[in-house]
Structure 1
Amino acid sequence: MTRSPINPTAASLLGFLHAGEASGYELLGCAEAFIGDFWSLTRSQVYRELTALEQRGLVVAGDTGARSRRPYALTDAGREAFASWVAQPPDTEQIRYPLLLTLAFGAHLDTGRLLEHVERHRLTHEERLAGYLGLESRGGLDAYQRATLRFGIHYERAALAWMDELPAILTGTTEAADPR
Structure 2
Amino acid sequence: MSLRHAVLGLIVELDGASGYDLMKLFELSLANVWSATQSQLYGELAKLTADGLIEVAAEGPRGRKEYRATAAGREELRRWLVEETPKPAQRDGTLLRVFFLGQLEPEQARAYLRDRAALMEERRDELAVLQEQVTWGEDNLSFYGRLTMEYGRRFFAMRKEWAEWAEAELARRSSPAAAPGGDEGDDGGDDGGRA
Q: TM-score range by the shorter chain?
A: 0.7 to 0.9
Match of 2:54 in 1: 59
Q: Which runs of 4+ in 1 moved over 4 A?
A: 136-139
Indicate which of 82, 86, 90 corresponds to 1:91. Answer: 86
Matched position secondary structure for 1:96: coil
Q: Are 1:44 and 2:39 counterparts? A: yes
Instruction: State the AA in 1 paired with 2:81.
Output: V
Letter of the structure 1 residue corresponding to residue 10 of structure 2: F
Residue identity (%): 27
Note the 1:153-168 alignment, pairs <5 A.
153-168=153-168
Does structure 1 residue 76 correspond to structure 2 residue 71?
yes
Within the alignment, does 1:170 sit opposite 2:174 as a pair?
A: no
Question: CA-to-partner distance for each residue in 1:110-162, whole Å, 9 max, x for gaps?
Answer: 33333333333333321332244452797546543333233222212211110
Deviates more, 1:157-166 or 1:31-40: 31-40
Partner of residue 17, structure 1: 11
Structure 2 match to 1:4:
none
**Structure 1 residue 106 displacement after superposition:** 1.5
Structure ID, larger Rg = 2
- Separation in 2, partners of 1:95, 1:47: 27
Instruction: Quickly say closer, same or farther: Cα 1:137–1:49, change in 2 above 3 A.
Output: closer
RMSD over equivalenced CA pairs, Å: 2.9
Residue 64 (structure 1) shift: 6.2
Please state how far the C-alpha of 1:53 moved relative to its aligned partner. Answer: 0.5
C-alpha contact 2:113 2:164 (8 A) present in aligned 1: no
- CA-to-aligned-CA distance 1:60-101 (integer Å, 9 cap, x gap): 1343633x5433222222112112212224323114332222
CA displacement at 1:37 relative to structure 2:
1.5
Which SS does the other structure have where 1:39 is aligned?
coil
Q: Which moved more, 1:134-143 or 1:150-159?
A: 134-143
Q: Which residue matches 2:193? A: none
Number of residue-to-residue matches in the alignment: 168
Q: Which secondary structure state, in structure 2, belongs to the residue aligned with residue 60 of structure 1? A: strand
Instruction: Measure the CA separation in 2 of the matches of 1:156 and 1:56.
Output: 37
Instruction: Give distance in 2, aligned partners of 1:154 and 1:24.
Output: 30
In 2, the alpha carbon distance for the partners of 1:49 and 1:13 equals 8
Per the normalisation by structure 1, the TM-score is: 0.75
Q: Name the CA shift for 1:115/1:70 in 2 (closer, same or farther; >3 Å).
A: farther
SS in 2 for 1:71: strand
